[in-house]
């Protein structure tokens, strides 16, 4: 059995937070985000939120137990003018299994709605179905995005073993789109030599169309020292011998000791160009919807779950 990047069943722990709504910074642009949890049970090998080799991120989930109360105070005393759309969440999945036990995301959404704040949710979960009515009654002012990497169960089990199968997620998306909620899919990350071929991408985009998704976008995997180590484990699980090709696509030598390494720009242009054509051919938008896009952000950053560094 190959080495894995997580250990046992996750443990849950409660903690109190002093603040919950944070400003994040990407490429010099800013936005607002809330993270009701710290850590994530979805266990994606490519997760950008781990920051370092930290099995604890996947195995110990902290619930910020006073998140909604703090958010209520912060919203009641908001002094920064009109509120920019709030991202839920930038560094965890707000609808990971812990949400069934704690319900913190639901409570935070209720507070945002009370203060008429626009929000967009990034999730890989089907648990959000529990809150369908809550989001549907606020559909004029929210946007729900599911990050879907692959329709292949074999790949999903290897790369993001804590997430539900894509067909389960698409069933939930269908319910949201039938209820009039603006639904997006973020094909992120596109994993070179694993999920970047035409048939893989077309399966995802076709399912988006069938589920009533209006906005689809994506991003190519980026590597960092810890992410590269985990990706090599997934290659072993999948029986793929692609390390040398990765060194060419990402132009690095081992050991990889870097903050972030992007794929070669010609690879990126080619792959995202193919994805964009597939999306547009099917009559969907390759962008954020206008009614919810944060004003001051580089939109190319928004298709990347959990890569955002946020500052309090
Ligand atoms: S990528 Fe997102 S869903 Fe996956 S482990 Fe990281 S925070 Fe969780």
What is residue 56's predicted lDDT score, i.e. its pLDDT? 87
Place of tokens 């973020």: 186
- Paired strand residues for 12: 61
Asked if the model's pLDDT at residue 157 lies above 50, the reply is yes
What is residue 23's predicted lDDT score, i.e. its pLDDT? 87
Verify whether ligand 1 is closer than 6 Å to residue 106 (CB atom): no
What is residue 7's predicted lDDT score, i.e. its pLDDT? 84
Sign of the alpha-carbon torsion through 50, 52, 54, 60? negative
* pTM of the predicted model as reported, rounded to 2 decimal places: 0.93
Rounded to an integer, the average pLDDT of 64-83 is: 94
128 secondary structure, DSSP code: G
Interval 232-263: pLDDT, tens: 999 999 999 999 999 999 999 999 988 889 99
Rounded to an integer, the average pLDDT of 122-140 is: 98
Rounded to an integer, the average pLDDT of 200-211 is: 98
What is residue 259's predicted lDDT score, i.e. its pLDDT? 82
Comparison of pLDDT for 55 and 181, the residue scoring more? 181
Domain 11-311 homologous superfamily, CATH: Aldolase class I (3.20.20.70)
What is residue 308's predicted lDDT score, i.e. its pLDDT? 41
Query: SS3 of 15, please?
Result: strand
Asked if the model's pLDDT at residue 208 lies above 70, the reply is yes
Verify whether ligand 1 is closer than 6 Å to residue 93 (CB atom): yes
Residue ID of nearest Cα to ligand 1 atom 7: 92
Tokens of 41: 């049970």
Rounded to an integer, the average pLDDT of 214-241 is: 96
> Percentage of residues in the chain with pLDDT exceeding 90?
80
Rounded to an integer, the average pLDDT of 169-177 is: 98
H-run or E-run covering 173: helix 166-178
What is the pLDDT confidence band of residue 298, given thresholds at 50, 70 and 90? low
Verify whether ligand 1 is closer than 6 Å to residue 89 (CB atom): no
* Residue 179 CA to ligand 1 centre (angstroms): 26
Ligand 1 atom with the smallest distance to the CA of 160 is 4
Asked if the model's pLDDT at residue 25 lies above 90, the reply is no
H-run or E-run covering 176: helix 166-178
What is residue 307's predicted lDDT score, i.e. its pLDDT? 40
Contact call for residues 289 and 214 (beta carbons, < 8 A): yes
What is the pLDDT confidence band of residue 8, given thresholds at 50, 70 and 90? confident
Asked if the model's pLDDT at residue 111 lies above 50, the reply is yes
Asked if the model's pLDDT at residue 116 lies above 90, the reply is yes
Rounded to an integer, the average pLDDT of 190-209 is: 98
Mean pLDDT of the chain: 91
Ligand 1 atom with the smallest distance to the CA of 124 is 3
267 secondary structure, DSSP code: H
Residue ID of nearest Cα to ligand 1 atom 4: 44
Verify whether ligand 1 is closer than 6 Å to residue 219 (CB atom): no
Rounded to an integer, the average pLDDT of 277-301 is: 80
Verify whether ligand 1 is closer than 6 Å to residue 124 (CB atom): yes
Domain residue extents for the chain: 11-311
Asked if the model's pLDDT at residue 274 lies above 80, the reply is yes
Verify whether ligand 1 is closer than 6 Å to residue 49 (CB atom): yes
* Residue 58 CA to ligand 1 centre (angstroms): 9
Please classify residue 310 by burial: count the beta carbons closer than 10 Å to its beta carbon, then call 0-12 exposed, 13-18 middle and 19+ buried.
buried
Rounded to an integer, the average pLDDT of 283-288 is: 94
* Residue 81 CA to ligand 1 centre (angstroms): 31
Rounded to an integer, the average pLDDT of 47-73 is: 88
- Paired strand residues for 64: 15
In this structure, are strands 21-26 and 309-311 parallel, antiparallel, or unpaired? Answer: antiparallel
* Residue 187 CA to ligand 1 centre (angstroms): 13
What are the respective helix, strand and coil percentages of the chain, to the nearest 5? 40, 20, 45
Rounded to an integer, the average pLDDT of 132-139 is: 98
* Residue 111 CA to ligand 1 centre (angstroms): 24
């Amino acid at each position: 059995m190959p080495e894995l990047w997580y250990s046992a069943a996750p443990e849950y722990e409660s903690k109190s937070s002093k603040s919950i709504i944070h400003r994040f910074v990407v490429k010099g642009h800013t936005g607002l985000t809330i993270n009701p949890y710290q850590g994530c049970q979805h266990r994606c090998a490519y997760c950008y939120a781990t920051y370092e080799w930290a099995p604890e991120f996947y195995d110990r989930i902290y619930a910020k137990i006073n998140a909604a109360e703090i958010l209520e105070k912060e919203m009641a005393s908001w002094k920064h003018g009109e509120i920019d759309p709030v991202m839920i969440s930038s560094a965890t999945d707000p609808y990971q299994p812990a949400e069934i036990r704690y319900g913190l995301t639901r409570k935070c959404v209720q507070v945002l709605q009370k203060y008429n704040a626009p929000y967009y949710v990034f999730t890989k979960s089907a648990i959000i179905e529990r809150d369908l009515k809550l989001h549907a009654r606020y559909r004029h002012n929210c946007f729900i995005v599911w990050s879907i990497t692959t329709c292949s169960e074999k790949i999903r089990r290897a790369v993001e073993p804590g997430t539900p199968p894509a067909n389960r997620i698409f069933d939930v998306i269908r319910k949201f789109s039938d209820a009039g909620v603006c639904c997006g899919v973020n094909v992120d990350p596109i994993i070179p030599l694993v999920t970047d071929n035409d048939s893989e991408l077309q399966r995802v985009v076709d399912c988006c169309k069938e589920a009533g998704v209006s906005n689809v976008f994506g991003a190519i995997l980026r590597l960092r020292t810890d992410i590269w180590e985990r990706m090599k484990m997934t290659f072993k699980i999948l029986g793929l011998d692609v390390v040398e090709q990765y060194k060419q696509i990402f132009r690095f030598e081992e050991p990889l000791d870097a903050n972030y390494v992007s794929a070669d720009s010609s690879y990126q242009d080619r792959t995202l160009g193919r994805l964009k054509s597939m999306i547009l051919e099917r009559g969907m938008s390759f962008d954020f919807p206008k009614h919810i896009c944060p004003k001051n952000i580089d939109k190319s950053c928004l298709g990347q779950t959990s890569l955002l560094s946020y500052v309090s």
